Each structure stands twice: as structure tokens, then as C-alpha cells.
Amino acid sequence: MKVLVIGGGGREHALAWKLAQSPRLQAVYVAPGNGGTALDPRLENIPLTDVVALRKWAQQEKIVLTVVGPEAPLAAGVVDEFRAHGLRIFGPTRAAAQLESSKAFSKAFMKRHGIPTAQYETFSDSAAAHAYVERMGAPIVVKADGLAAGKGVVVAMTAQEAHEAIDFMLLDNKLGVSHNEGGARVVIEEVLTGEEASFIVLCDGRNVTALATSQDHKRLLDGDLGPNTGGMGAYSPAPVVTPEIHARAMREVILPTVRGMESDGIPYTGFLYAGLMIDPQGGIKTLEFNCRMGDPETQPIMMRLKTELFDVMMAATGGTLDKVELEWDRRTALGVVMAAHGYPLNPRKGDAITGLPRETEDTMVFHAGTVQREGIILSSGGRVLCVTALADSVKAAQQRAYEVADQVRLDGAQFRRDIGHRALRGQA
């Protein structure tokens, strides 16, 4: 049996690495993959990204299961394309992926179904958007409606910043947002405070299974300072998600979302990621939905998963998730992202990476923005590696991950020194 993972980041390396642990699989392909998936003898890169080309290749190779990593192919309809040709694939349809690909869609959906989220308004007219900011004042959050590779959200501390963000998103489009049908729109919403957590589940259209909890570090610099990024490190489990918060998140956010999608005629299949803001009283609001796993959350989560991912994915694509019990390593997994010089604005590419250690029972370096050229690994993107370690405590996992990260040589590498600090504070 042969399987395919679509994507080429750290998340996809982790998914493919986990799938390859199933002895029944004859081949695990990654399209397009990266330097890390090229190095692993159990994985094979396929240089395809076009949705129709992927579908034709999967038919020809008799791929039994495809797992989609990133949002772009989902928003481009890869699941619809594969299913229309009888191929088994895990992910949401294009319509369901709007939970992520359109902030206007997801906010209206949450309002309609009573799912807790920040108060907001949607605008396509910039004068009306500016007037709203004048009325509400700062701080305030401005979000582009379309996919923006993590760059479509501005938490504006001043009205001036909010006005600039509106002009960027509606007029200039300097953020590289791909606008949805109907043209450029922004969502403007109230600022929420509290602690963020990543709540990720699997859905087969009806049944829902939660993955282990996790928490990401969105800001570039130690102490949660500096610009927002795609994520500079993550760990699992996340102590902020207590059993009570877990139950509330399922009851107030996840289940109403899955039922709401079903009753709206757009049943949800795939990974569903709710970005939650948890306030000090234990109240929960939904910051956003992603229709995929988190990156880098996937890396520590996959390090902890003991159940065969292939079996889980087969159940999730067969409508039998209720028959699956996930088993987790009790240890903490913690991943530190090594990013390129200049990330996030202007990451430098083409730096040689040396000192990459071999995988061990408790450490693994997942690749993201890397390529293999003539046996050498070069950086090729903003987030380059995610050094991940398992240990009995957050502190020990942190120490182990940094020991490994310190062996890796990447010129100009940026990485935080405090991944896991919130969990450590909780344990102190």
C-alpha cells in the first residue's frame, strides 16, 4: 500500500515520518516535500503541486490514502478533485475549508451557530472600515478575509496602525492576501486577552476525536515580543488546557462547529484546528479556525502519538473514527523552530545547514524550508527546522531540544530560547 502526503513544510515532514512507521506501508510519498523528506530513505519526494496533476499521479500510482498538510491545496479544492475520481483523501472540501480561507465566512458561521468569538464587523468599503475604527478606538484587530500565509492579521495598538492595516489590506494588498470571490474584505474585531491554545481534532464528517493538546509561540522573540510569525515553537501537552477547558472547548466550540457545518450542508472532514483564547476565568473564545493541523504543533504532537497514524487516517476517511482510541506518550514533546536570517519579513535562502544529528528515540529534527542539493542541505524558506525532543518534564524536554539545536549550524539562524515558558511557569 502506498500513501501520499501533500505539502512540503515541517508539519508534512512530521506527518510523513509518522505514517512511515506503519510496517504495512510499502511507500510514503511527499509532494513536493523538502530536504528532510529527501534524506529519509523511507520517504520519497514527488515534484508536484498542481491539484489535477497530483490527482492523476495518485490514480496512476494507486495511492490508497492521501493526507493534505497545508491550507492552500485545500482552498484550491484538492479534496473535491480526489473524491470526484474515487480517491481516498483526508481533508475538508473547498467549501468546508472556507472556515479558514475566509474570515468573513468563519465569523458569520460562528455568529449563526452561537460559537463564542470576538465581536466583529466585516467591510469591503474602506471609508466604512475607517469610520468603524474611529468609533471603536484602539486597540483593535484587523484581519484580511483571504489566505495570507499568517500575515493577514494586525493587532493594532493605535488607531493609526489600524487605519494603515485597512489600507494595506483593502487598497494596496501589500500583504500578499489572495482575495476571495467578491473582492477584498476585512474583518475588524475586538481584542481578546488571555492565553492562546491550539485545539486540534480529527473529523470524519460525524465523529470527532481530539488530538493531544498543544501550544504555539507566535511571536519571533523571547518573552513573546517582536512580530507575529507562523509559529516559533510548540509543545504538547499544554497545561493551560485543563480537563475542564478541554470539555468546554469540545462542548462550546468543536461540536457546535461540526454540527453547524453538517446542518449548513457542508459536512466537515479533516483536521480542524480551533485557535482558542482562554481568559483567566476559564472562559473560551475562538480566535480562528484552521482547516489543517498546526505547524509547528504537528511536530511535537506526532512525536507523542503512539497509535499508527495510517490506521487513524483510514478510520477518519472511512467514517469510523468512533472506533479509534488514540494512545499518547505520557512525556512532553517540545519543538524549537530554527528560522532563517531575516524571517519573517525577508528570509534569506541558500544557507548551508550542517551538524544535523541523527534521529534518536527521544529527538528528531523535522525539516521545513530546506532542500537537498548534491547531498548538501540548504535553507529554502523562513522556518527552516523544528528541533523536537521528548522528555519526562517540560524543563527536560526544553533542555534536550536546545542541546540538539545547539549542534546544528545554520548561518544567521534565529530561534527563541524560551519555548515552553508558559508551561514552566505553570509547573513552578
* Contacting residues toward ligand AMP, per CB under 6 A: 118, 141, 143, 153, 155, 189, 191-192, 196, 218, 228, 275, 287-288
Q: Which does 231 bind (CB under 5 to 8 A by kind): ligand AMP, ligand GLY, none?
A: ligand GLY
Which residue is at the shortest CB distance from ligand AMP?
Answer: 288
Taking the complex as a whole, how short is the minimal distance between the CB of residue 143 and ligand AMP, in angstroms?
Answer: 6
Query: Residue 294 binds which one of ligand GLY, ligand AMP, none, with CB within 5 to 8 A depending on kind?
Result: ligand GLY
- Least separation, in Å, of the C-beta of 228 and ligand GLY? 10
Q: Which of 12, 40, 80, 297 binds ligand GLY (CB under 6 A)?
A: 297
Backbone angles phi, psi at 66, to 5 degrees: -120, 135
Place of cell 469610520: 131
Residue 368's binding partner out of ligand AMP, ligand GLY, none, with CB under 5 to 8 Å set by partner kind: none
Are 110 and 102 spatial neighbours (Cβ–Cβ below 8 Å)?
no
Give the residue with the Cβ less far from ligand GLY, 297 or 351.
297
The amino acid at 113: H
Counting residues that bind ligand GLY (by CB under 6 A) gives: 7
- Choosing among ligand AMP, ligand GLY, none, which partner's interface includes residue 287 (Cβ < 5 to 8 Å by kind)? ligand AMP
Residue from the set 98, 290, 317, 388 that interacts with ligand GLY by CB under 6 A: 290
Would you count residue 231 as binding ligand GLY (CB under 6 A)? yes
Query: From the list ligand GLY, ligand AMP, none, which binds 155 (C-beta under 5 to 8 Å, kind-based)?
Result: ligand AMP
Binding site partner of 153, from ligand GLY, ligand AMP, none, Cβ cut-off 5-8 A by kind: ligand AMP
Distance of closest approach, residue 287 Cβ to ligand AMP, in angstroms: 4
40 neighbors 17 (Cβ within 8 angstroms): yes
In this chain, which of 294, 300, 347, 381 binds ligand GLY, going by CB under 6 A? 294
Closest CA to 383 of 413, 405, 351: 413
Question: 48 touches which of ligand AMP, ligand GLY, none (CB within 5 to 8 A by kind)?
Answer: none
Contact status: 100 vs ligand GLY (CB under 6 A): no
Whole-angstrom distance, CA of residue 397 vs CA of residue 378: 27
Contact 151, 182 (CB under 8 A): no
Does 236 engage in binding with ligand GLY (CB under 6 A)? no
Least distance CB 115 / ligand AMP (angstroms): 14
Cβ closest to ligand AMP, residue 118 vs residue 391 = 118
Residues in touch with ligand GLY (CB under 6 A): 216, 230-231, 290, 294-295, 297
